[in-house]
Structure 1
Amino acid sequence: MLADTGYHSQENLERCAAAGIDPYIPAARQRHNPPLAERLADDPPEPQGQPTTAEATAYRLRTRDGKARYAKRKATVETVFGIIKQVQGFRQFLLRGLRAVQGEWALVCLGWNLKRLFALKG
């Protein structure tokens, strides 16, 4: 089960365990766009002994499989359009005509892609 930080509680983790569900619920907000080395790092060693449900959940989120599963929650195009509108301040086309608008949109997308590449580089 994938859920955001607001659903992380000992009670929720225990209910998931009792139902046989592996929860992927981070205890704290996760950064967007972690550095490449962090994203490609090997899985950490498993917790020793009998880990608590919170420790098991935290470990699960640090594995490659856990990162890949949780990343699916963040995959939405709405975020891109929201950033283009709010952060980049693009709210309307300034040019007229299909060809001019296509060129203007290409520049907006180029700006987004450069911003994204810079963020991914770390």
Structure 2
Amino acid sequence: MEDYPIQLDAQIRPVPGGYQIQSVPPISGTPGLAGTLGATIIWDNNVAGISNQHILESKNAQVFQPNIANSPERDKFLIGTVGGLSWNQRYADLGTLLQGGVMGMYDFGWFRFNDTTPTTYQIPHL
């Protein structure tokens, strides 16, 4: 039985939806925003994860769970690589968003899990 409250920023395997992830864009190498893994899906015959575009940030960014916070052990937290993002212009700023101004309709992206990362997809269906 799980103890409650559950720590949603804990490293957990298999990786379920609802837990914290973070991406690191390949060019800057600087950790981006932390956010939530939405779900594990099958995308183009690969086990993949989905989240918000503004969390996954850029194609080929590395994805970590929970987050790396510049950890010297960052490789043990690596779970995948961003494969694609919805075509969308980002919100101009938070103020524009709060005033109802939307520049795009979608905010999602997907990443391929590494072959060695256990995911909830591998749990047999009941």
Q: TM-score, normalised by structure 1?
A: 0.25
The structure with the greater share of residues assigned to strand is 2
Q: Which is higher, the Rg of structure 1 or of structure 2? A: 1
Q: TM-score, normalised by structure 2?
A: 0.24
